Amino acid sequence: MSESIATTKAQRHEGRTRVRLHCAFVTLWFISFAWQKTSDAAEPQRLTTDGKVKRDPVLLKPDGSELLFAQLDKPNQLRLMKLDLRDRSIVPLHPNETRSEFEPAVSLDGRYLTYVQNRGNLSLALVIQDLMENKQSEVPPGGGFSGMHSPAISPDNETVLFSYPESNRQQLLAVTMQGTNRKSIADSNGINNWPSFSPDGKQVVFSSTRDGDYDLYVMNADGTNVRNLVTSPRQDIRPRWSPDGRHIAFTSNRDGNYELYLINIDGSGLVRLTNHPEQDDYACWNPDSHSLIYVSERDGHFDLFHLPVPQPKL
């Protein structure tokens, strides 16, 4: 009888030991997984060192060799600058321009360039350039303090989307590459801004305050089938669709500071890409969809950085 009791106690002890070992294994696996997820985020590489205020980076060449961005070159002028990523040389795109130019967008094939140009007193025009045929069109400013913002060129080089304030709201409008046939694509209460086409041109991701704060939405390219993609109690802004069509990068202050985040195109798989006490913003995809160029504030200075992007599971 006593031998049976001893055997039972030994079995219970062995069972408890196995449970403890299993729990310890699970805990170590979880810690290892969490560490791996954090360590996947490589250190960013600094591309510029002058510290001037920068914004709106976009690739100028389809091969990713040249970058275009806006820089505060004078106290009252934003200038478009061209960065050669091979030798890091920087030159103005329009050396003799005295007006502010910013928010550039380039077609996937590098043929078309569009950007916002200040015509004075916060009156903003949209300039559309055919770089191949050296032709230029524009969408002139509206009346009063108004103008276009955040242009995006469709992959088929047929349409330019942009944000436009009108009647106490800000909608997304579309024009041809000649600046004609203006039509509304996304109209609602609040602000609709920062459109970005999917690589196949069938969908557009954008940010909107239609439900209160800035959240991410997706719609068909003709403005139909609008649906919410990401919601947070703070601002989710400046989304950019990856060239491979799988992911969307965006800026958010959901954790109390402006950082870059990554999601799948269905809104799942949220990953925080940057973690810095100052602002990280203006994500721009490289052609391989495996890295981003962005603007980061460091000690009050602003420079361009390159960051490899971990690929979340679909």
For the stretch 4-54, pLDDT in tens is 433 443 444 444 444 343 433 333 333 333 323 333 457 899 999 999 999
Claim to verify: residue 12 and residue 69 sit in the same structural domain: no
Render pLDDT for 200-247 as a digit per residue (tens, 0 to 9).
Answer: 999 999 999 999 899 999 999 999 999 999 988 899 999 999 999 999
What pLDDT does 58 receive?
Answer: 98
CATH of the domain at 269: 2.120.10.30
Claim to verify: residue 136 and residue 157 sit in the same structural domain: yes
Claim to verify: residue 23 and residue 86 sit in the same structural domain: no
Claim to verify: residue 7 and residue 69 sit in the same structural domain: no
Q: What is the CA radius of gyration of the chain?
A: 24
What pLDDT does 273 receive?
Answer: 96
Claim to verify: residue 74 and residue 33 sit in the same structural domain: no
For residue 124, is pLDDT > 60?
A: yes
Pairing verdict, β 192-197 and 45-46: unpaired
What pLDDT does 179 receive?
Answer: 96
Number of domains in the chain: 2
Domain that holds residue 139: 47-308
Claim to verify: residue 219 and residue 78 sit in the same structural domain: yes
Claim to verify: residue 108 and residue 1 sit in the same structural domain: no
Claim to verify: residue 154 and residue 14 sit in the same structural domain: no
Which residues have CB under 8 Å from 147's CB, separation 6+?
116, 119, 122, 123, 124, 125, 126, 141, 164
What pLDDT does 32 receive?
Answer: 31
What pLDDT does 24 receive?
Answer: 36
For residue 60, is pLDDT > 90?
A: yes
For residue 63, is pLDDT > 50?
A: yes
Tell me which of 311 and 290 has the higher pLDDT: 290
pTM to 2 decimal places:
0.85
* Residue keyed to tokens 């590489």: 45
